[in-house]
Amino acid sequence: MNRARLPLLALALLATIGGAILRAAYVHEHTWQWALMPSAAAPKLEFAHRTYLRGATQHDMPSGVIEQGRTMGGGTILALPPGAYASTAVFVKSGDTITGYGLSGGP
């Protein structure tokens, strides 16, 4: 290997590692997971300018919930239609699994 290329290789390696660390920190801030790509139903969910925390796996949902968006990991966010108040519970569907989330900090 040419010695002149060694500093460029080291710089490229540092930039790649730095980018991965920044991405993991960003994902952790929004989902509480240390990963480059979060799971579909992460422990923390930010939706409609509110924070929701993951609860138990659900077998059924209340009637009237509609698709409202996607999680960072690709799960489908289901909630009641938007109204005057923030919904206190939302659901994330990933494949056949439905996970409930409760509003953090109250309505």
Instruction: Give 48-88 pLDDT, tens digit per residue.
Output: 889 999 998 887 778 889 999 999 999 999 998 887 677 88
Per-residue DSSP letter, 63: T
pLDDT at 92: 95
Confidence of residue 1 (pLDDT cuts 50, 70, 90): low
pLDDT value at 90 more than 70? yes
Which residues are within 8 A (CB) of 76 and not within 5 positions of it... i.e. 6 or more apart? 67, 69, 70, 92, 93, 94
Q: What is the pTM of this model?
A: 0.81
Average pLDDT over the chain, rounded to whole? Answer: 89
Nearest Cα to Cα of residue 99 among 20, 16, 90: 90
* Spatial separation of the C-alpha atoms in residues 16 and 4, rounded to whole Å: 20
